[in-house]
Structure 1
Amino acid sequence: MNKLMKVGLLVLAFLLVPPSPSMLMASSEGGHGGDATGGEKKEAGKAENGAIVIGPMTVNVLSNTGYRFLHLTLDVQCEDNASAERLTDADCKQDLIFFLSSKLAEDLMTSAGKMALRRDLILLFSKYTGPGKVKNVYFTEFVFQ
C-alpha cells in the first residue's frame, strides 16, 4: 500500500506542476502583505526599483516521509532593474527548481533552515546578476503540503 501511495503522490505532483516555465514569471498576485503599488499590478517579468517577484511556484521537495510540495513566492531586491530581470530567464528558473527540489522539507521548516535557504538563494541568483547585485530575498509565500 505504501508504494501505491507514493505512486499516487507522484501522479498528483505531475498534475500540479505548471505546464511551462512561464508560470514562474514575475507576478504581484498572491503572497501575504500589502501591495506597495496601491493596488496596481506589476507587469510580469518587469522589475521596479530593482525588485522583482518570482512566483508563485510549486516544487517537489524531499522529505523523510516521502515527497512534499513547497509553494512559494519570492521578492528579490537587486541593485538595478536589469539585474533583477535576468532572474526571469529560463536557465535561472530551471536552476531554482533543481535547487529547491534537492532540499529536505524538514530542514526548511525551521527558522534557521529558512535563513540558510535565503542565503543560498542569494548566492544562486548572484550567478545570473553578477556578484553583489542581489541585495535581499524575501519569502512572501512559503507553504508546505
Structure 2
Amino acid sequence: MHHLLKIGLLLLAFLLVPPATGRLDASSEGGHGGDSKKSEKKGDKKEAGKAVDGVIDLGPVTVNVLSNRGFRFLRLSMQVQCETNEEAERLTLPDAKEDLVFFLSSKMAEDLLGNPGKMILRRDLTELFSKYAGAGKVKNIFFTEFVFQ
C-alpha cells in the first residue's frame, strides 16, 4: 500500500511539473516565469539569451533535488548581474548550463528552504558563474523564481 502511495505521488508530480526543455534562457513566449515585460525597460526589446546592462535572465530550470523524504523538484529562475554583457552571456553556454544543473541537483532541499540556505546558494552560484564570466565579474544574483514541489 505504501508503494502505491509513492507511485501515485510521483505520477501526480510528473503531471503537474512542466517538462524541462533543457534551456536556461528566459523565453518571451509566456510560460510560468511571470510577465517578462516587467524586467524590461520601456522601449527595450530583450532577446532570450542576451544581456542588457550586464544583466541576463537564466531560467527557469527545473531539477530533482535530494530530500530526506525522497526527491523533490526545484524550479529556479534568476537574473545575474555581471560587469559587461559579454561576461553575462557566457553564462548561457552549454557547459555553464550543465554545471548549473549538476550543481543544483546535488543540493539538499531542506538546506535551501530557509533564507540562510538561499543566501549560501547565492554565494555558491556566484562562485560557479565566476568560472565562466571571470573572477570578480559576477556582481549579484537575484532569484526571480524559487519553487519547491
Equivalent residue, structure 2, for 1:25: 25
Tell me the secondary structure at the aligned position of residue 116 of structure 1. Answer: helix
- From 26, 46, 51, the equivalent of 1:47 is 51
Letter of the 1:68 counterpart: R
Structure 1 or 2, whichever has the larger Rg, is 2
Query: For structure 2, which runs of at least 5 residues remain unmatched after alignment?
Result: none
Other structure's SS at 2:67 match: coil
Alignment of 1:11-90 (within 5 A): 12=14, 16-19=18-21, 21=22, 23-27=23-27, 30-31=33-34, 34-38=38-42, 41-90=45-94
TM-score (norm 1): 0.85
RMSD: 2.5
Letter in 2 for 1:103: K
Q: Is the contact made by 1:6 and 1:66 (CA closer than 8 Å) also made in structure 2?
A: no
Are residue 117 (structure 1) and residue 129 (structure 2) matched? no
Amino acid at match of 1:25: D
User: Which shifted more, 27-36 or 116-125?
Assistant: 27-36
Give TM-score, length-normalised by structure 2. 0.83
1:40 to partner: Cα distance: 5.2
- Work out whether 1:91 is the aligned partner of 2:95: yes
The offset of 1:3, in angstroms, is 4.0
Q: CA deviation at 1:36?
A: 3.6
